[in-house]
Amino acid sequence: MEVLRSFQDNLPAQDRLRVGLSQIAPIWLNRDETLKKIETETIRAAEEGCQLVTFGEALLPGYPFWLDRTGGARFNDPLQKEIHGLYLDQGVIIERGDLDPLCAIAKTHKIAIYLGVMERAPDRGGHTLYCSLVYIAETGEIGSVHRKLQPTYEERLVWGPGDGHGLRVHPLGPFTVGGLNCWENWMPLARASLYGQGENLHISVWPGGLSNTHDLPQVLAKEGRSYVIATSGLMRREDVPQDFPGAAEIIANSTEFLANGGSCLVAPDGSFVVPPQTDQEVLIAADIDMGKVREERQNFDPAGHYSRPDVTHLNVNRARLSTVKFEE
């Protein structure tokens, strides 16, 4: 796999953070094999000196690309039921320890991780998938699990809507890092909830597609006066397993790329540090400078001197939602 480097060794050590954007394809809907690939790429990023590595939305075990290629909205359809059952079976149960090997790698290599997973959540009965963005600290501990607030369009056929429990930020080197899944990056109030906690490095994760990342990351950077990482997955026709239910129909209704990447890194002034990378698996390793954040906050700080909480403010419910509450 190609490694694209953008290093700045002349930066003051106290202001520098080296980040990695891992644009890879899953071993589609195979949780164990995809996790092994993620583990390998995490170690690769650590060997490049990265203190943080990020992966695409729903990468573990994969995005539901079949929905708009096989008539996913057909009610009570046997094929859709079969695929859904497989998807659910391959979901990530964090409480079961599914991410423990990756947490161990984070601790050993002292690297933090943002990873998009399809979470099978026991606290919601264990039979619905949530598109979750998991933060693993460099200590190997899971810092937050953010369930996507609103699945987009056909995603609603296979994912449940999340809650605000994971709208949290984390200290990492000189930065404060937070993240959102795919199109919830378009949600102004979700972004504002992170700005208000001091976010200055924003992680946006995507299933893959230049159409998603060619403009929004620059908007987010200018609005937040923050660095913005946009990490995408990749999916090619040949990544569809031949024995996957409906494989022939999926392949027949797909171009060469079901998702062509588009990962990029944007500076707080809206300029590209690394422009969108497409059509290949790649590790982007780059240094970012906290000094640039301080400079850009001079004329705009969305939760500081350029806010009016006496006029407008945001209330956020960070409770983990459930259908039942037990009192013993």
Please list the active-site residues.
57, 148, 182
Residues 105, 108, 113, 116: what is their CA dihedral angle, to the nearest 10 degrees? 10
Instruction: Give Cα separations from 15 to 4, 45, 52, 176, 200 (angstroms).
Output: 22, 20, 15, 12, 12
What b/e sequence results for 13-50 when a residue is b if at least 16 CB atoms lie within 10 Å of its CB, and e otherwise?
eebbbbbbbbbbbbbbbbbeebbebbeebbebbbebeb
The whole-angstrom distance between residue 47's C-alpha and the CA centroid of its chain comes to 22
How far is 107 from 73, CA to CA, in rounded Å? 42
